[in-house]
Structure 1
Amino acid sequence: MDNYIKDRKVDSNEWMPFTGLEDGDSLPTGDIYVPIEEWLNARETLLTRNGRLGVALRNTDDPAIIKDDLDRLDLVVLEFPKMADGRAFTQARLLRERYGFKGEIRATGDVLYDQLFYMQRCGINGFELRDDQNASHSLRAFDEMTVTYQPASDEELPLWRRQK
């Protein structure tokens, strides 16, 4: 995918979504992520395969549902169904700050230039941009603001408590 940014660089997306694991199916190789329902129904089977593993959450899912599994996961995919729906921002902060997730948190869906800086502040480090967005151009979004006031995943202290 040429509209993918990871860790503030245009990158290739090596992860594949996977659904529909039935009894007796062979497990796919490579790096896959599964919907949360698939994870909850086939967790132990999925953990026996080779390759990295991730889980996709809807923006209505509570990240606490996977908190005990985060050390087994390399990726958590968060859904941004429309620009005006910010629930996945909260999910990202919970994953990073409350549950200590160190892997990739990826934003998918209606991911736009205007949101990238704020998504990064919440702990998101992978971005599947909407098709009409340009990844190379979008890299500028991360440096548009140089001063932040509130604490977030990328800065523990508010501006007034930071002393130089």
Structure 2
Amino acid sequence: MTIVDVLTEFAESGGIGVLKPGASLAEVSERLGPPQDGEYFPGRRRKRGEPRNVRYGDVRLEVCCDKLLAVALSTGSGSVDLPSGVSGETEELPSAVTAAQLREAFATAGIRAEEGLWPEPADQLTLVVPRSPADVHFTFRRTDADVSGDSGTVLHSAIARGHHVCG
């Protein structure tokens, strides 16, 4: 499996394996084992109703009321550790992929991706794949201003964020 395969699945299913917005953390934990702490600022007290952050390898999750709200993957380090499907185990993959490579994979799979329409920094490009319950956003950084089009971009992150109101 390659990073392009993983990202194409993310675009198709809205998640990475069983890690999808709306999934139950309890059910995910039964399949993958307990998650690791994923808080960005360990020791900081969360406000009531604020989601907590956990992770499986390099896949970060926002969780509230036992439901996954967001699934995020940062790819800027050159490699990623992804859950292998076996409890407690991850698999490392090289993570460098350009927008051109991902657009080609999406086209082959019949996935419609749109460019983000909101103002963005000049060195950034976002492809959005409409999904339910959460759109998947693939954000690229331009690495070479002299290269035109998508070949001068490298994927920085991918995220699907659902909507949730605590009851």
Pick the TM interval, shorter chain: under 0.3
Determine which structure has the larger strand proportion and give its number. 2
TM-score normalized with structure 2 length: 0.25
Larger relative contact order (Cα-Cα within 8 Å, sequence gap ≥ 6): 2
TM-score normalized with structure 1 length: 0.25
Determine which structure has the larger helix proportion and give its number. 1
